[in-house]
Structure 1
Amino acid sequence: MPLSVQDRLEIQELYARYSHAVDAMDGAAWVTCWTRDGEFVPSVGPTAGTPYRGHDEIRAFADTRPDEYPQARIWTTNYVFEEKDGYVEGTCYGMTVDVSGPAPVITAHYVYHDEIVKEDDGGWRFRQRHPALDVEAKREWAA
């Protein structure tokens, strides 16, 4: 059965809750966007390529932002959802906007590649999220 309009709206809401939670460094809220065995592999900052698996690791990432973007806003757009066998493949464009200075600065652009599943409670969650970096501004990372 094709994705309904309601499914598409709920998945877009998942994308929004994800961004708001990680931007607020709210690991408790961010982890609700993931399956228990979820996997996130960031593509920016000094943690690029490091897999974070399961609720504990994913929550710790959001609580501390080891990607060194503690004052960032994640912007996503141009969503494409395709049904696969047992999950939805989601792709979208993403930008990291640094809001720590007097004016916002776009510091990275990437394409998210996601596996999204509808769990038994009826909620949509990320099972895998692997953004592919297009470009990132040069920054000095803390040692």
Structure 2
Amino acid sequence: MTTTLDDRLAIQDLLYRYARAADDKDTAAYRACFSSNGVAVNWADFEVNDGATIIDSLSQYQWTMHKVFNHAFEVEGDRARGYTYCLATHVADEQGQRRKEDWHVRYDDELLRENGQWRFLRREVQVGLIEKVDLPD
């Protein structure tokens, strides 16, 4: 199992596109990160065809920033398995008080190369810690 530089860069691009779609609250871009039968699990146990569920859940925040790092994947043909760490910052206004939440996330991923592009076949989300801080006005 050898992962080429081209595969590494293409997979990294997928991870960044996913984070950007979440931050932009862009349902179409979010869905485009998944294969036609791809699923995300342990978030709300939904299928990606209902990807609006995740994007809608982000609408409660004034803004988000998903910072993706520490990822590793093994490629075998047109499939890959690996993990990705993410620190997702969310800012919300709760009854006039701004609050920041930092979510420490690990994604366990199965990828499929379709038409030359890597997409998520299965994305399992594990939130390890959520830190909440009230922000000054």
- Residue 2 of structure 2: SS of its match in structure 1? coil
**Which 4+ residue blocks in structure 1 deviate beyond 6 angstroms?**
none
Cα shift at 1:92 = 1.6
Q: Say if 2:86 is the partner of 1:94.
A: yes
Give the Cα–Cα distance (whole angstroms) in 1 for the partners of residues 99 and 87 of structure 2. 12
One of 106, 122, 125 as aligned partner of 1:111: 106
Q: Which runs of 5+ in 2 are unaligned?
A: none
The structure with the greater share of residues assigned to strand is 2
Deviations 1:81-111, CA, capped at 9 Å, x for gaps: 123575211212111112457x994521021
Cα shift at 1:53 = 0.9
Structure 1 contact 72–100 (Cα < 8 Å) conserved: no
Structure 1 residues 7 and 86, CA, compared in 2 at 3 Å: closer, same or farther?
A: closer
> After the TM superposition, which residues 129-140 of structure 1 pair with which residues of structure 2 at under 5 Å, given as runs?
129-137=123-131
Percentage of identical aligned residues? 28
Cα shift at 1:66 = 5.7
Structure 2 contact 63–91 (Cα < 8 Å) conserved: yes
Number of paired residues?
130
Give the Cα–Cα distance (whole angstroms) in 2 for the partners of residues 104 and 138 of structure 1. 7
What TM-score do the two structures reach when normalised by structure 1?
Answer: 0.77
The residue number in structure 2 matching 1:30 is 30
Give the Cα–Cα distance (whole angstroms) in 1 for the partners of residues 12 and 106 of structure 2. 15
Q: Which amino acid aligns with 2:108?
A: H
Structure 2 contact 73–81 (Cα < 8 Å) conserved: yes
Structure 1 residues 104 and 138, CA, compared in 2 at 3 Å: closer, same or farther?
A: closer
Cα shift at 1:133 = 1.8
Give the Cα–Cα distance (whole angstroms) in 1 for the partners of residues 123 and 62 of structure 2. 20
Give the Cα–Cα distance (whole angstroms) in 1 for the partners of residues 18 and 89 of structure 2. 15
Q: Which runs of 5+ in 1 are unaligned?
A: 43-47
One of 67, 72, 76 as aligned partner of 2:68: 76
Give the superposed CA RMSD: 2.8
Give the Cα–Cα distance (whole angstroms) in 2 for the partners of residues 41 and 75 of structure 1. 20
